[in-house]
Amino acid sequence: MKGANLDGPDGSISAFSARISGQVQGVGFRYSACHEARRAGIRGWVRNTPEGDVEVWAEGPPAKLEAFCQWLRRGPPGAWVDAVDSAVRAPAGYRTFSIEYDRR
């Protein structure tokens, strides 16, 4: 997200999606990300992918999103983050932050 313009149309709410790769499954990444997001007042979701990555959708004030994206680059203790690929998105209007589970 470095260098990305996160300002929404009204300057208050922005959003991004991200895919985090590395050793990010089986280390509490989703639970820690959910805790960090809720603590910061960020809304959206986090989930594992079948490929072994973690995906995030986050909405909130730009400064809080930037701090959350920086946390995603570190992750929780035990995680090893190789890359965070992110893109600015239009807010979808999520009301909470949740962990999504595979519905297969």
Does the residue 4 lie in any domain? no
Whole-structure pTM value = 0.86
Does the residue 26 lie in any domain? yes
Q: What is the pLDDT of residue 102?
A: 72
For residues 30 and 76, what is the distance between their CA atoms, to the nearest angstrom?
9
Number of folded domains that form the chain: 1
What residues are labeled active site?
30, 48
Amino acid at 53: D
CATH of the domain at 92: 3.30.70.100
Domain, as residue range, for 29? 14-99
What 3-state DSSP class applies to 20?
A: strand
Predicted confidence (pLDDT) at residue 33 exceeds the cutoff of 70? yes
For residues 5 and 8, what is the distance between their CA atoms, to the nearest angstrom?
9
What value does the mean pLDDT take over residues 31-53? 97
Tens of pLDDT along 47-78? 999 999 999 999 999 999 999 999 999 999 99
Does the residue 104 lie in any domain? no
Does the residue 1 lie in any domain? no
